[in-house]
Structure 1
């Protein structure tokens, strides 16, 4: 009996070790690690978009002080911010192409609305020279850059994960454990990055450079 009681845990340990090696050899661990990287990079994308959204009320408030008559632009910005904020961005979105597309489209709309808001400043010299407005412009510019970096990192992580899911023999493991490819930002989404809101400081930027 004593011998059997010793053999049993030894056998279980050996079986566990063999199964662990098997999972590692078939790419399971790598798939899990890449999946976690995708989730982490997605969280950073969401954080940067939220940072941009948090800047909007202050931007609108400053612009309104100088351009109250631009109500159409303010309405567009408010609507875009509301739509973007109304979309749930849990990790489950990463496995839902339609949800991903809705989220990306809402952020593109926000980008367009912000572009129109920033363009208003060109018609109001006093607004362009306002210190608070310039500070908010700088924050927006930095945020847009961080959004671009976060999106690019996410795109790379998804491409790596999707490649692993499709490759043999890890494609077999992915099928067994129900791990499918993930939707990515489309070409249209990427074009939105290149048309991010202009935050050119004009004369004030040249002064700062000097």
Structure 2
């Protein structure tokens, strides 16, 4: 009888240790998932700041640059896509498109000395440049936490728990094709 009781206690202790390990692993996965969500919210916050600045910048520049309708149309279209984007992947694509259109606008502004001397345009350009830097920083941080999360859910034994509880890999924030080429603005 004593041997049976000791065996039962040993089995219960082993089950308890295994359960504690499973709970701890699950909780760490939840924490990492929340880190990714929080960091994505930080990226979206900075994207929203850019989204809010654009109409002011465009309106300030429009008066002096009526002939640059193509740039303004590209910005308006990209901004509309950003507003309607659903999910991380669409938001990344829309953000990259908007970033390209803004880069073309920045090149145009650099080529118009009277715009560079306009205080409103200069102030808005500084705000936009600061916002772009913040977005870049938050994207980098997002990719860091996504890397940590994705590698954790792929490693054994957490990959088993991740599969059981529906933890899936998250997408990285990646540049679009052609992002390494400077925008070209032609004055015809």
Which structure 1 residue ranges, 5 or more long, are not aligned?
A: 1-16, 95-99, 198-210
Q: Is the 8 A contact 1:111 1:196 kept in 2?
A: no
The aligned counterpart of 1:54 is 52
Match of 2:23 in 1: 24
Secondary structure of the 2:63 match is: helix
5+ residue gaps in structure 2? 1-15, 184-188
2:181 is the counterpart of 1:182: no
Deviation at 1:195, TM superposition (A): 7.0
Q: Which residue of the partner structure matches residue 82 of structure 1?
A: 80
Residue number among 91, 98, 107 corresponding to 1:110 in the alignment: 98
The partner residue of 1:164 within 132, 138, 152 is 152
Aligned partner of 2:186 in structure 1 is none
Q: What CA distance in whole angstroms lies between the structure 1 residues aligned with 2:153 and 2:178?
A: 27
Aligned residues: 169
| CA–CA separation in structure 2 for the residues paired with 1:155 and 1:190 | 18
1:105 and 1:181 mapped to 2: Cα distance?
18
Question: What TM-score comes out, normalization by structure 1 length?
Answer: 0.73
Q: Which stretches of structure 1, 4 residues or more, deviate above 4 A after TM superposition?
A: 17-20, 189-192, 194-197
